[in-house]
Amino acid sequence: MGYYIDLENISIDNYKEILKSADLLPSRMILKSSIDYNFDLIKKQNVRNIDELMKMLKNKKKLQDFSKKSGLNEDYLTILIREIKSYRQNPNKIKNFPGIADDVISKFENIGIKNTLQLFDKVLTSKSRLEISKQTGIDENEVLKITKLTDLSRIRWVNHTFAYVLFEAKYDTVEKVANADYKDLYETVKRLNEDRKIYKGHIGLHDMKLCVEAAKDVSLKIEY
């Protein structure tokens, strides 16, 4: 696994079981309805894994064609592809993370790094992070901080602000979030935001549970 989960390694049968046990968003609970029947229809289209399915549903025309061939409802397929695409969310831009100095952003951009996906492969080990520090003139501790923000950004639904919130709450790696008690994490984040007013929205207990479960799917590629 790299920055993203390798969807080729998730077979159609395995994904069906994942969905059956998943704590889905309310708007996506329809995916559990008649799931065995629906996934049998998908398999009959010679789809072996989730990567292949995502390619077959990648735009409206392809989705409509797949619907006609398989007999699956377009609305069902639309929600299904949204759920699959959540594994491949857009990388966070380094400039959008709170608390990153303008000169640090410029130094990264000078070597062609603007987002977490571009940075990921270059900060996997302490040695590679030291090389980045020497190359850019960015302090090693700052490189490590942005490495951890990059790591957290790999969790589904974690945007630049929430990655920063997790970092500041001391849940600063994917591994720590994956091993967290979601109730404890919720209370920690709630207290942090009450003190510092980092974000305006509401992150509920159920949202935190989804975050912890999503972190369990992410590979621990970065060495600390």
List, for residues 56-114, the tens digit of each pLDDT value: 999 999 999 999 999 999 999 999 999 999 888 899 999 999 999 999 999 999 999 99
User: Which sequence spans correspond to the domains of the chain?
Assistant: 7-88, 94-215
For residue 202, the model assigns a pLDDT of 86
For residue 24, the model assigns a pLDDT of 84
For residue 1, the model assigns a pLDDT of 55
pLDDT tier for residue 17 given thresholds of 50, 70 and 90: very high
Q: What is the distance between the alpha carbons of residues 169 and 163, in angstroms, rounded to a whole number?
A: 10
Using a cut of 0.95, tell me whether the model's pTM lies above it.
no
Q: What is the distance between the alpha carbons of residues 5 and 122, in angstroms, rounded to a whole number?
A: 18
Residue 201 has pLDDT above 90, yes or no: no
* pLDDT tens figures, 113-165: 999 999 999 999 999 999 999 999 999 999 999 999 999 999 998 999 999 99
Q: What is the distance between the alpha carbons of residues 105 and 100, in angstroms, rounded to a whole number?
A: 7
List the one residue out of 93, 29, 38, 43 whose CA is nearest residue 71: 38
For residue 115, the model assigns a pLDDT of 98
Task: Compute the average pLDDT of residues 199-221.
Answer: 91
For residue 87, the model assigns a pLDDT of 87
For residue 2, the model assigns a pLDDT of 87
Kindly tell me the sign of the dihedral angle through the C-alpha atoms of 224, 120, 85, 43.
Answer: negative
Residue 29 has pLDDT above 90, yes or no: yes
HSE value, Cβ hemisphere, 13 Å, CA-based, for 44: 13
